[in-house]
Amino acid sequence: MARTKEFDPDAALDAAMRLFWRKGYEGTSTSDLTDELGIARASLYGTFGSKHALYLAALDRFLSGAAGPTPADILASRESALESIRDLLETSVVPPQGGTPAGCFAVNATVEHGDADPEISQRTTGNVGRLEVALYGALLRARAEGELAPGVDPKSAATMLTALNHGLKVLARAGEGQGDRIRTAIASAMSMLGAPSRTDVD
């Protein structure tokens, strides 16, 4: 009879996700993982196969929305499309809660690995594409509802906002001292899209 595992793999994967998110792939040792997850090295490898396989599983878990609402969820959560875009960008200035590190795990993975690892790159590139598609949809909705400023091209704006969102996540990793810079960038972007200032919105 097979032995029952002495730990919860889902809870271990959540812990690994937050550890990789905070320290990165290269900055996380096997000892860090066994200490954080509270399991033996044999159990770690027996369940997840390798550090690389665990990292991919943790990244997949993050991208599935395990750490909170996905960008698509946020962009669909408001009656006003432009305000949903503002909400998405402002996640960069929301203080981390419940042990969640600052910034974005997927953006961190993009910065750390670029296109050097095909399996990681496939995931991070897909994440960028999904965000851009979701933003494009929100901007089309904003235009249909008369919110979008005249002359704003939804496709180009979606690309710009995707790049801005990733940049804001990188700044968020630098700490709360970047808050004013992030808010100024968001306000400027929203002004170009035609959104009223936050003080003018209910």
Chain segment 117-128, per-residue pLDDT in tens: 999 999 999 999
pTM: 0.87
Please tell me the predicted confidence (pLDDT) of residue 40: 87
pLDDT tens column, 101-144 = 888 999 999 999 999 999 999 999 999 999 999 999 999 999 99
CA distance 153 to 201: 23
- The pair of three-digit structure tokens given for residue 6, joined into one six-digit string: 């002495």
Max CA separation in the chain (angstroms): 69
Alpha-carbon separation of residue 80 from 176, 193, 196, 202 (angstroms): 28, 13, 12, 11
Residues of the chain with pLDDT under 70: 1-7, 197-202
Quick one: CA torsion of 18, 20, 23, 25, rounded to 10 degrees?
A: 180
